Chain A
């Protein structure tokens, strides 16, 4: 009876330790890549940002922080317009996303690329909007690879296009996310 009790205590302690370890497990990067494309019949703009911070927890929470000024356009003039006129980056310097994996219901990391659905709040231009993002997550020897393709409506984020640029900038922007997250213990 005493032996049984001893093993039970050990088992409970081990469970607490492993649950704690799992909770503490966070994958992070500060060099994620986000690309966006605006396509109309007349013009196509593309911008790349390699300064994206991203984190994902063992239990499927996902978070991004995107410095708006880090987007690089081919055209210097377009970059200036994007930062100053459309995104007002001096007032809203970052975009952010906080979400959770909703599909599969019980997400578990795997070395196979898994399709996931992430639901969360995207904040751009100071406006919060709920987005459902389709992506893939794969565990590799270098870390966790997180990829997603989705699109957003500029109107949802109060980003207005001046009338004389209405044919040049799309109302729907395609976004591509590609991040390699590395395991880091979460600070207590």
Chain B
């Protein structure tokens, strides 16, 4: 009987620890996990534009992706650093956002440089109407980490 009580107690403690872990787990503001997919920017854009957008988003949203390309626009805002990649098409925006803790690394980057990032993919969003003010097709990433400058 004593043994049963001890086993039940141990199981209860373990269950509590597991539940607490998941309840208190914090969101990683910078991706540390290895990438599930690796793409150049133009490969990723091409796949996005030639696929059904819902299927594309179902496949890649929330996934860790390594993406390589040339920096088109750098936004060295301390609170909200970000960069946009160059693409073959002006109406396509590939936008990557960083946590402010990565600011110093972003600050060291320059426009026109090649860079490899690991980010969480937030998907492809198409313009609702081509005459909209927001007429671009946008691929968004966040929680990015800089792997290397090429």
- A residues bordering B, Cβ < 8 Å? 26, 28, 30-31, 33, 50-51, 53-57, 61, 63-65, 67, 69-70, 72-77, 79, 83, 89-90, 93-94, 96, 98, 186-187
Q: How far is the CB of B145 from chain A (nearest CB, A)?
A: 14
Query: CB-CB < 8 A to A83: which residues of B?
Result: 62
Chain B stretch 70-92: residues in CB contact (< 8 A) with chain A = 75, 77, 80, 82, 84, 90-91
State which size class the interface on B falls in.
35 or more
B148 / chain A contacts, CB cutoff of 8 Å: none
Partner of A55, one of B22, B77, B95, B134: B134
What's the dominant secondary structure at chain A's contact region? strand
Main SS class of interface, B: mixed
Q: Give A49 Cβ to nearest chain B Cβ, in Å.
A: 8
In the assembly, what is the distance between CA of A22 and CA of B85, in Å? 29
Binds A, one of B3-11, B37-45, B107-115, B121-129: B121-129
Report the number of A-B residue pairs with Cβ-Cβ less than 8 Å. Answer: 96
CB-based nearest B residue for A79: B27
Cα–Cα, bound, A1→B32 (Å) = 76
Q: Could you tell me which B residues sit within 8 Å of A by CB distance?
A: 22-29, 57-58, 61-62, 75, 77, 80, 82, 84, 90-91, 93, 95, 97, 120, 122-123, 125, 128, 132-136, 138, 140-143
Beta-carbon contact of A69 and B61 below 8 Å: yes
A93 x B57 contact (CB < 8 A): yes
Given A61-B133, A76-B25, also A90-B58 (CB < 8 A):
yes
Q: Which residue of B lies closest to A96 (CB)?
A: B128
Chain B nearest CB: distance from A129 CB in Å?
Answer: 16
The 8 A-B pairs at the shortest CB distance, nearest first, are namely A55-B133, A69-B122, A30-B95, A76-B25, A51-B140, A50-B97, A63-B133, A31-B82
A53 and B136 CA atoms in complex are apart in Å by 10
Residues on A with C-beta less than 8 A from B138 are 30, 53, 65, 67
A79: min CB distance to chain B, Å: 5
Asked if B25 and A75 sit within 8 Å, CB to CB, the answer is yes
Q: Are B143 and A72 closer than 8 Å at their CB atoms?
A: yes
- Expressed in whole angstroms, the minimum distance between the Cβ of A67 and any Cβ of chain B is 5
Inter-chain contacts of A54 with B (CB < 8 A): 134
Contacts of B143 in A (CB 8 A): 72
Q: A31-B75, A53-B136 given. 17 additional CB < 8 A pairs? A: A26-B133, A28-B133, A30-B82, A31-B77, A51-B142, A53-B93, A53-B95, A54-B134, A55-B132, A67-B122, A72-B29, A73-B27, A74-B27, A77-B22, A83-B62, A90-B58, A187-B91
